Chain A
């Protein structure tokens, strides 16, 4: 896991873990509140919206980390994003 060695990597993994941890109880909440009366569609929409948000952010940070490592590894990777 090279990602654990870069500081942005650690940061984003903790963010990811945090949001995943908070998603688990949501499912529990779904179970108690509305399972019977209402369709699951809105929950899916919320889930997809939050996942996409974090995936995009994580992707951005990963790409910064990758570019940063390319430079730190002595390479003179020299291109604009």
Chain B
């Protein structure tokens, strides 16, 4: 078990180090996040709607698109230069590779969530409510489910000639629960509603995340096997 964890941690460390050195995915995702916010400023007539009312929805759409942009490259990066072969033939079990990719993608997406929250606060003065821990819990659980689904499908799309273009069609139909409960829960947190109004959504998000993560861990080996 500890060997397994150490192997997973090694891959995570490698991925994150690579990301820190090149910064290519982080730059693209962060850039997209800020740019979406800028475009939204012009896309929404703020004389008609108050941005705060749309806050949770805008935030989640930004996270989904920004996250998808970066995660789509999870396995394409490894395939360039054939690094994936080394990874797949290494003694690390295949599900360990999947979990490692989920963890490193989770860190990346969490980073762009911070960027998004900051950008929206800066540009539109969003009020994020008075329960930062609860907000972090909802964002964390929902993000993990989102990452679990997207990481599996990015391994699939990397092996097709459509590449990342295929990703939205595969993931968006399945991510509806994340959007529904992510948006309703964060929306209620932003409106400083009592905790019990958020709980239900959080539990269902957790159920989604558990199912997605378990299924991804089991199914991943069929996607990458030679």
A and B touching (Cβ–Cβ under 8 A): no
